[in-house]
Amino acid sequence: MISRSNMISKEQKNKIIQKYAIKEGDTGSSQVQIALLTYEIEDLTGHLKQHKKDFSSRRGLLKKVGLRRRLMRYLKKEDKGSYETLIKALKLKDSV
């Protein structure tokens, strides 16, 4: 397994959690999970631009994209206003 030095750090993760948390101590809401996955997807995309033949990382990227899509679909169904605010903040397309 390749050890990547540019993975999400604990400080970056905490900043993202604080920014998108609904209430104090919120680490598992859909908004926080989608924001964390978006950051990880961007990180993996940059890695794959340099390492085109890293197929195990590509598989991980596709799994993260699928998970984010499912979470976004759920959030859109449950709380449309929150969903729209989140996609604007993360600069994502409304594709679900």
Confidence (pTM): 0.88
Listed by start position, the domains of the chain span: 10-20+27-90
What confidence tens digit (pLDDT) does each residue in 13-48 have? 999 999 999 999 888 999 999 999 999 999 999 999
CA distance 62 to 57: 9
- Which phi and psi angles does 35 have, rounded to 5°? -65, -45
Choose among 70, 63, 24: nearest CA to 41.
Answer: 63
Q: At what angle do helices 55-78 and 80-90 cross, to 10 degrees?
A: 140
- For the 10-20+27-90 domain, the top CATH level (class) is mainly alpha
Residue 53 per-residue DSSP state: T
